[in-house]
Structure 1
Amino acid sequence: MILTVVNFKGGCAKTTSARCISDYLALQGANVLSVDLDSSGNLTQSFGIDIPSKGAGEAIGSEGNADKYIITGQPSLLPSGIKLREYEAMFATQPMSFKKLKKLLSQLSYDYIVVDCPPNLGSLTTMALYACDRFVVPLEPEHFAVNGLAKLLDYAKEVIEEDRFLGAFATRYNEKERGVLRKQLFELAGDRLSGQVFKTVIRRNIALAESQSLGESIYTYSPDSNGAKDYASLTNEILNQI
């Protein structure tokens, strides 16, 4: 099962979501691989790992030697790399390159592969959409984020003919902060998506940022925090729908 976490807008907790979903699946005993396709390497660094000289770009380019670059753990990690941005530009010039990631991941044996995309609609995001079984969209409940979601879903339809969109979920949520407006915007997103919005919302929680800065899972750093509880609930919702 390949799950892609995607949004071309930065600052929506996309990487945090990919990390926490991966961690919760691993906590349940699944064999999980996290894939960092963002040249910023934030997901890689959230594991307490410096961005390596070689990683996802080289693995995708090889189309068959991912194990060489994977860092084994629970979850395991296919990290970003210092040349990933160069690979992204190179893949954009290669016909049919959007199939490369799917070919690579199909050779791996994991229960779940969770892919973190860059905040754009470039070649690596296209690969991740094409490779996935389903994709989810973290959505900060703001006006422009809701409007941008339609653009993302239209692009996904161009990449993959079948509908693999599982749903959107609210992140950085604070009911006390402009609560009425945020509630209205979230309901608007639900209307546009015909109900494809998860019930779980991810509340603002400092423990999420703290755990990642220390390279730890939220479930070991602060298992009773709102962040841990919210991502556990979200991941269970995802599992119930796939």
Structure 2
Amino acid sequence: MGRVVAIANQKGGVGKTTTAVNLGASLAVAEQRVLLIDLDPQGNASTGVGCAPGSVVRSSYQVLLGEVAVEDAVLETELPHLHVIPSTPDLAAAERELFGDEDWATRFRDAIASIRMQYDFILVDCPPSLGTLTINALTAADLVVVPLQCEYYALEGLSQLTNTIERVRNGLNPGLTIHGVVLTMFDPRNNLANDVAAEVRRHFHVYETVIPRNIRLAEAPSHGKPVILYDAASRGSYQYLNLAREILDALPIQAA
């Protein structure tokens, strides 16, 4: 059964979607069957793997509300082992539409249950908030990967996220764990970045692989491609491949 991995950080601009797209692509290159689910109304993960805005017919919004079967919302990408369920701006209304429903927190988990056997990894790009959509993703997830930019408010945001994860673990998903923190847009010449990284390492498992600032990594989304398809020789591509290998090496092999 595929592992569900929530890529989560309620702070925007930390490389969350970049990590979801490029970790997914790198796992796919490693011949893992990967489904990327865009659960962010901004839809950047969708466009980052080639889904043109306005072209989406079936989306994660409809899957979440039970309007379409999850299998019917899956699209192929340029990478043979990478599929995507795209997002649309309609997803922003889900918080309001699910409000008051008894099963509001488990809708996503139930919706994707039938497709888990078809993939090795299901990566969920969460929105930059700790609302209904993120709670649904965390309730469905086995693991959380936290992209973190080493800046002044990083630790405060990480504390808020871990509190939310603990509440989900206590009430909805006791098996949920933070698999690791990935440092993004990291500049080792920056003293503050090094101080924050050291503090995070004191409290969390931080992946050895660090994602640097990289122009090709920043350019790739505008071309609708993961960086490995845009510039496979770039440092950003190389480091996301390393991150995928590190995660695969750390996880036990699961029976089919």
Same-fold status (TM-score > 0.5):
yes
Does the C-alpha gap of structure 1 residues 83 and 64 become closer, same or farther in structure 2, counting only changes over 3 Å? closer
2:183 paired with 1:181: no
**Residue 130 of structure 2 corresponds to residue 117 of structure 1:** no
> Comparing 147-156 with 68-77, which one deviates more in the overlay?
68-77
CA distance in 2, matches of 1:236, 1:174: 22
Does 120-129 or 65-74 show the bigger shift? 65-74
Alpha carbons 2:60, 2:73 under 8 Å: kept: yes
**Does the 8 A contact of 1:92 with 1:122 survive in 2?**
no
- Unpaired runs of at least 5, structure 1: none
Q: TM-score, normalised by structure 1?
A: 0.93
Letter in 1 for 2:226: S
> Equivalents in 1 of 2:202, 2:208: separation in Å?
14
- 1:1-242 equivalences under 5 Å are 1-51=3-53, 52=56, 54-62=58-66, 65-73=69-77, 74=80, 75-108=82-115, 109-161=118-170, 162=174, 163-176=176-189, 179-193=190-204, 196-242=205-251
Q: Which amino acid aligns with 1:192?
A: H
Q: What secondary structure, in the 3-state scheme, does the structure 2 residue paired with 1:142 have? A: coil
Contact 1:167 1:197 in 2 (8 A): yes
Name the % identity.
Answer: 30
**How much does 1:53 deviate?**
5.1
Give the CA deviation at 1:88: 2.9
Larger displacement relative to structure 2 (57-66 or 76-85): 57-66
**Structure 2 residue ranges without an equivalent (≥5):** 252-256
Using the TM superposition, name which of 148-157 and 70-79 deviates more: 70-79
TM value normalised by structure 2: 0.88
Q: Distance in 2 between matches of 1:62 and 1:15?
A: 25
Change (3 A) 1:132 1:63: farther
Runs (4+) of structure 1 exceeding 3 A deviation are none
Deviates more, 1:116-125 or 1:163-172: 163-172
For 1:98 and 1:30, locate their aligned partners in 2 and report how far apart those are by CA, in whole Å: 28
Count how many residue pairs are aligned between Structure 1 and Structure 2. Answer: 238
- Cα RMSD of the aligned pairs, angstroms, is 1.5
Residue 228 of structure 1 deviates from its aligned partner by 0.7
